[in-house]
Each structure stands twice: as structure tokens, then as C-alpha cells.
Structure 1
Amino acid sequence: MLAFGCYALSGTLGQNVALRGSFGELPFLGISLTGAFLIAFLAFVLGSFFWVRWLGQPKIADHLIEVEGELNKVVWPSFSEATNSSIVVVVTILILMGFLSVADW
């Protein structure tokens, strides 16, 4: 989400004439270094840095470890069980749709 937000920020800032001018180009990536790109890239780097620092706090890290442990305890359905359950849901919805269509007629 951070990358998408910074990409959108770059597009929004790119509408400003003062930030459209190119300072150069990265030849191996073909990216033009504009003011809008540099601001969005700086926002991405700072956002990533603070996100990693926030996740590194002991309370947050302990919570994430506990969540991982709980996810390992979950018994996930097999493919055939998930398929059969999905078929039941679709058939039930179709029956309900038919009933509501007839009742609303």
C-alpha cells in the first residue's frame, strides 16, 4: 500500500509544473528523475524506515510472533473440501436468488 500511495503521490505531484522538470535519467531503469519522483521516493524510503522500526518494537514483534503461532495451529481445509464448500455456497445463493425473484414477482 505504501508503494501504491507513493506512486499516486508521484502522479499527483507530477501535475505541478515546477515538479515536472527532469534532473536526469536512470539509464538502467529508464526512469526520469523529476521533482515529483524524488519526493515520492523520499516518502517511500521514510515510510519504509518508520514501518520497519515500528514493527521492531518489542510489543508489536511479540504480537506478530503470537499471531504466527496461532496461524500455525489452524487446520486449513484441503482443496477438495474448499471446492465442495464453495459449491454448496453457490448453490444456496442460486436457490435464494430464485426464491426471491419469484417472491418479488
Structure 2
Amino acid sequence: MDLILQFLQNQTLPADPAEARRVRYRSARYLIINSALYKRGFSLPYLRCLTQEEGHYVLREIHECICGNHSGTRSLAHKTIRQGYFWLSLHTDAQTFTQKCDKCQ
């Protein structure tokens, strides 16, 4: 995410040509609004990109507090997306989070 953010803000690419091509290709799906990075979805509203720490907080809030039904991995990830949040390891983080939850086991 940091490479995409740097490219969109400053037009700076990594030195590796393969990585630079990858960043240029992936950055077409992202945009910056009020200095925050958002991901464009095909049929979704803009999804705010979060850091790893912010993502864990959002998962905990959706899983335990706000919705409070201790949902499974897939439904937790989809609820997070419906709330308008995204990060690269969303699905794997949701899986590890639900596996560590004692009440869900």
C-alpha cells in the first residue's frame, strides 16, 4: 500500500522494473481523497484503505462489539467491506481472528 500511495502522491516508482510495472498497474484501482487512500470497486463504493493496526481494530469492533454475533470468517470479511474498509490482508486477518476467538470455537 505504501508504494501505491507514494506513486499516487509523488509519482515515484521503485528501482526494480518489474515492481515498478506492478505498482503502476495496481495504482489504477486506487485514488487519494483528502490525503486518505481509497480503493475503487467495480460495483462497490470507495473503500478506505487501512493500516494493519487499524484493520485489527475494525475486525475486533465488528466481530465482538458493534455487530456482536461472532460471525465466521467470510461473513466478517464481507461485513468489513460493506462498512467501507479495505486492506490487503483482510481475508487472512479475518480468518486468523476468528480462529483465535474462544467464544467462536
Higher helix share: 1
What TM-score do the two structures reach when normalised by structure 1? Answer: 0.24
Higher CA-based Rg: 1
**Normalising to structure 2: TM-score of the pair?**
0.24
